[in-house]
Structure 1
Amino acid sequence: MKILKALIYAKDDVLPLFDGSAKKRASLDVLRRRSVLLLISDLEISHEELSMLQQMYSEAREQPARPESQYEVVWLPIVDRSSPWNELKEKQFDDFQRVMPWYSVYHPSLLDVAVIRYIKEVWHFNKKPLLVVLDQQGKVVNPNAIHMMWIWGSLAFPFTSLREEALWKEETWKIDLLADSIDPLIQSWMDQKKYICLYGGEDMEWIRKFTNTAKQVASEAPIQLEMLYVGKSNPREKVRKNISLIEREKLSHVLQDLTLIWFFWVRLESMWHSKVQHKRTVENDTIMQEIMTMLSFDGSDQGWAVISMGPGEMAKAKGETILKTFVEFELWSANANEKGFLPAMIDYLHELHSPFHCNRLILPGTTGSIPERVVCAECGRPMEKFIMYRCCTD
């Protein structure tokens, strides 16, 4: 309680918290003997981040007796004190506070200037929201659990480094780690032993060719194939248009909500950062290699696809290669009858594989530690390091 008082409000003359579910002021006593997740952000927190956090928080609250639901969230809004507080900022703050179901500081002015400096200098807050975890004794057990929250949700409780290690030990690279949190359909397709294809990119011409050819092959093979379009990270207008065209032309399933497309890619970036923090690289970790491949698919200008069945291995390639594999199905159909569809497809992809490639890995610079050396997931050589600034509104 001493630590929370020092951080949030040291005096006893006002109730320093606002309870988002009861919509009334509250004292710090509501946090006594609880693990506390401090959500630290400015007034620019994105709609996507907020809506995914709300979803995870309400899921945890649905079963309050579970050990992993034993935490409270408190929003600490960091505002720039050098510019005057005005009606616009007040409205922004009120709008956020009204929709947040957890606790928040009643007003940004209650946070001391020294506390804000501490948050920036010691916890390295720099625009990107942080989730700092305090245990029941007020000790910081994780300076930023946001990556764990995106990957595993409340299952990551108590959000410590040890818990993160333990969770990774249980994981293998399969479709449910990659995508079952974005659409409940994926789990039901797995239960029905269907082949699942996730694909992405922005080129609508390629999307048409690919989905139609894949459907044709599925009926010839014959296999039950379900396809789901997952767009591109930072989904914009082009992805939105593609979604409506894919639906209108009945090409495949889509994620209706752009927030879920954003979440698919942000989870992959979070896996990357989580692995980097645990000193994992492409050379010593197979999951890291797969994550890197997925992120470099997104960094390329063409489409891509990943095909899997249940917990088995996945066939994956960039757009032209995966399309060629389907177009040339009759060349490997005998092998598919003999070995099974996926193993035969993986064999054929290996035959088509060329040593020439240009893989780009684009990571947001604000999401954590950027290591000096990153090797290519395809050939193992160190990648060149560039810095890219971009403003993308199309």
Structure 2
Amino acid sequence: MNSTRSISSLNEDIIVEQILRTHDPDGRWIDSKTLLQEVEAILSFVLETDVSKPLPTENCMTNIEVFDSKETLPYAISRISVQMLCPCTGENEIHTRTMFLFDLLKEYRWDAKAVLVLGALAATYGGLLLPIHLGSNDPVAASIATLNQLPMERTKFRPWLNSLSLLIKVLVDVTKCITEFERLPFKQAKLDSNLVGETMSKIRLATYWVVKSALACLQQIPYFKQPQQATESRSAAGEISSLGYQLRSMHTGLSKQVEECSTQIEEKIYQRLRNINTETHQDNQEVLQLLFSLQDDLRLQQYSRQVAITDLKEKVILLLLSKPELLPTEPFHFLLQQLYDHPSNTNTEILWIPIPTSQKWTEEEKQTFNFSSNSLPCISVKRPWLMSSTVLNFLRTEWPYRDGETMVAVMDTNGKVVNMNAMDMVLIWGGKAYPFTASKEDELWEEDHTLSLQLMLDGIHPEFNTWQGREICLLGSDDSNWVDEIKSLARKLQNLGFEFELIDLSKRTVDSTEESSIQELFWLRLESVKRSKLKRIESSNPDRVFEEVTELLEFDYGEHKGWAVIGNGSTAEKEKEKIVGKKLTERMRRIVRWGEHAAGMSFAEAIRIAEEEPCEESHTVVVPFEEGSRVVTCEKCRRPMKKFVAYQ
């Protein structure tokens, strides 16, 4: 059998024309890169001469994705294998069978055609060689090899096996070039038509030779099963070697042209990304395509549902950039809650772009991302490890993203990035900050002149909005004994009739309680408030909010036991009282000693009055009996006066 023929002697134009007539892609898509990696792993293992090499520990074939196809991946490979195993003799029959395979694969892209054929090759030779590979240590595998008339001694067919290994390696290398070219985003960057046309013609021809060479390999199975026919076996090995040398020569030229196309596209796309805000766009579609459709038309997802880029048209997009494991869980859920629980969310979407700490994703990062993306309501890139390195480099160098940090860039409905990092806006105001521009941030700070309880707690404490008109006392300390004492005094005051809520915000560490979650989010918001204010305060004009939040964030727990902020939850502008350490303890003890004489006072009023020194001289105030039910305070020290009933 002579299945080789000099490439230079073939009429390449006729071959390309013939296979083009069979090419009719219908939009189906296979993750050809991942499939090729698995095919390469299978063939490398079964062709390995060292039988002591450990077995692969993971089956990744089930993770290979197929979209819009009428047949499953195993069925497609099985269908191709059946046709490739049909006997062919002579060059004409090999060529005819090759063209039949192209007709069988007409609905697939060029990279998928080549990879599926190699998949059939891996399935066939894997099934033949695996029992031999395992037979030295596994009697069952040895028995299977004997039943299939397979030789257990590799030395009998080593020349043929070496030639097959070399051919398969170059087949994989050529297919990698085809796959890389097919994934280039030509829609996003126009190249020289001559360069693209010439490379495309070579890609088609290379696909033909991959299919034909794989078919020739499977035609040699009879020689593999009968290695005792030394002359024919050596002839078969020589035939395979000849194919390998021809394909290696083709690969050298093809890889250079594909690399040149890739380099030019990367340069053009990088420049287009830099010009996002200087160019005019009708909507956000062109920019989103530029970011997310660079390779294989990257799909978006929400849970397990596929999301098309066209679904994001006329939406304000919050681009969430982070490492694959996101923020700590609680803050990230709070971020989503801040947006999705607001009426303006109908025109807003969060799109998560995970960025690995290195250029290559680890298996752990992939597993972490898959778990998070399937359990969170935000939209995410379905296979972020396939994102273009050009886009990732752009985000790292041109945007204020730093590895391991989290940022939220805002893209308006016209595809313009209007805010490079709206993270703090979202954590402070949530959906109220829509459309998340810098001018909207200024507008919101015009409304919030003080560090009000509403600014600090709204959206963080689940019951805050139900406490309209109710007094609230925020508490913070590193001294658990002091906190316990304040809580004990608070219970005594509440038993006396004082109505207020005490919220302990002492801890910054995370545990499993609801209280710890509130504490974590509270400090996270204060840090956001400080960063937001820091961007817009002027040295000549002191900012009250900045000063107050800085005081809390930098509180000296060594000098003072802790702090407390007392105010009213009904309005954002209500004046609040801030007290530190021992002073709070002393005042609360005084109020407890007043007992029923302080009945009717508000907690904040009692705290303020308790600060004053009592009058040195005793004096009496006479009020009508019908007014005796109310608390009467001293006009000098404002403290509640003891009640006596006098008869006259």
Same fold (TM over 0.5): yes
Secondary structure of the equivalent of 1:297?
coil
Question: Are 1:342 and 2:604 counterparts?
Answer: yes
1:306 counterpart letter in structure 2: V
Rounded to whole Å, the distance in 1 between the matches of 2:612 and 2:395 is 50
Residue in 1 that maps onto 2:578: 316
Residue in 1 that maps onto 2:354: 77
1:69 counterpart letter in structure 2: T
In the superposition, relative to structure 1, how do residues 49 and 219 fare at CA in structure 2: closer, same or farther (>3 Å)? closer
Name the % identity: 27
Shift of 1:341: 5.2
Question: Are 1:125 and 2:397 counterparts?
Answer: no
Contact 1:179 1:186 in 2 (8 A): yes
Aligned-residue RMSD, C-alpha: 3.1
The answer to which of 273-282 and 124-133 deviates more is 273-282
Question: Are 1:183 and 2:461 counterparts?
Answer: yes
In the superposition, relative to structure 1, how do residues 68 and 278 fare at CA in structure 2: closer, same or farther (>3 Å)? farther
Question: Are 1:139 and 2:416 counterparts?
Answer: yes
Rounded to whole Å, the distance in 2 between the matches of 1:184 and 1:328 is 32
Shift of 1:135: 0.8
Contact 1:135 1:141 in 2 (8 A): yes
Shift of 1:169: 1.4
Shift of 1:70: 0.6
Shift of 1:156: 0.6
Question: Are 1:10 and 2:294 counterparts?
Answer: yes
- 1:138-166 per-residue CA deviation (whole Å, 9 max, x = no partner) reads 11111011100001111111000111111
Residue in 2 that maps onto 1:25: 306
Higher helix share: 2
- 1:29-61 per-residue CA deviation (whole Å, 9 max, x = no partner) reads 12222211111011231212321123234324x
Which of 448, 473, 486 aligns to 1:197? It is: 473
Rounded to whole Å, the distance in 1 between the matches of 2:492 and 2:365 is 55
Higher strand share: 1
In the superposition, relative to structure 1, how do residues 91 and 59 fare at CA in structure 2: closer, same or farther (>3 Å)? same
Shift of 1:340: 6.5
In the superposition, relative to structure 1, how do residues 19 and 337 fare at CA in structure 2: closer, same or farther (>3 Å)? same
- 1:350-375 per-residue CA deviation (whole Å, 9 max, x = no partner) reads 98xxxxxxxxxxxxxxxxxxxxxxxx
Rounded to whole Å, the distance in 2 between the matches of 1:270 and 1:327 is 36
Shift of 1:326: 1.7
Answer with 1 or 2: which has the greater Rg: 2
After the TM superposition, which residues 165-244 of structure 1 pair with which residues of structure 2 at under 5 Å, given as runs? Answer: 165-173=442-450, 174-189=452-467, 191=468, 193-219=469-495, 222-233=497-508, 235-236=509-510
In the superposition, relative to structure 1, how do residues 339 and 25 fare at CA in structure 2: closer, same or farther (>3 Å)? closer
In the superposition, relative to structure 1, how do residues 18 and 258 fare at CA in structure 2: closer, same or farther (>3 Å)? farther
Shift of 1:336: 7.8
Contact 1:232 1:265 in 2 (8 A): no
Shift of 1:67: 4.2
TM-score normalised according to structure 2 size? 0.45
- Misfit runs of 4+, over 6 Å: 330-333, 335-340
Rounded to whole Å, the distance in 1 between the matches of 2:540 and 2:576 is 18
Contact 2:318 2:350 in 1 (8 A): yes
Shift of 1:349: 5.2
Contact 2:323 2:355 in 1 (8 A): yes
Contact 2:324 2:366 in 1 (8 A): no
In the superposition, relative to structure 1, how do residues 108 and 257 fare at CA in structure 2: closer, same or farther (>3 Å)? farther
Question: Are 1:284 and 2:542 counterparts?
Answer: yes
Shift of 1:20: 1.1
Unaligned runs of 5+ in 1: 61-65, 241-254, 352-394
In the superposition, relative to structure 1, how do residues 306 and 49 fare at CA in structure 2: closer, same or farther (>3 Å)? same
Contact 1:68 1:158 in 2 (8 A): no
Shift of 1:281: 6.5
Residue in 1 that maps onto 2:335: 53
1:184 counterpart letter in structure 2: P
Rounded to whole Å, the distance in 1 between the matches of 2:445 and 2:612 is 29
Shift of 1:114: 2.0
TM-score normalised according to structure 1 size? 0.72
Rounded to whole Å, the distance in 2 between the matches of 1:284 and 1:337 is 40
Secondary structure of the equivalent of 1:99?
coil
Shift of 1:286: 1.8
Count of paired positions: 322
Unaligned runs of 5+ in 2: 1-284, 614-648
Rounded to whole Å, the distance in 2 between the matches of 1:166 and 1:122 is 28
1:51 counterpart letter in structure 2: H
Secondary structure of the equivalent of 1:317?
strand
Shift of 1:321: 2.4
Rounded to whole Å, the distance in 2 between the matches of 1:315 and 1:324 is 15
2:418 counterpart letter in structure 1: V
1:227 counterpart letter in structure 2: L
In the superposition, relative to structure 1, how do residues 319 and 25 fare at CA in structure 2: closer, same or farther (>3 Å)? same
Rounded to whole Å, the distance in 2 between the matches of 1:86 and 1:186 is 42
Contact 1:197 1:307 in 2 (8 A): yes
Contact 2:354 2:384 in 1 (8 A): yes
Rounded to whole Å, the distance in 2 between the matches of 1:212 and 1:331 is 14
The answer to which of 72-81 and 276-285 deviates more is 276-285
Rounded to whole Å, the distance in 2 between the matches of 1:276 and 1:350 is 37
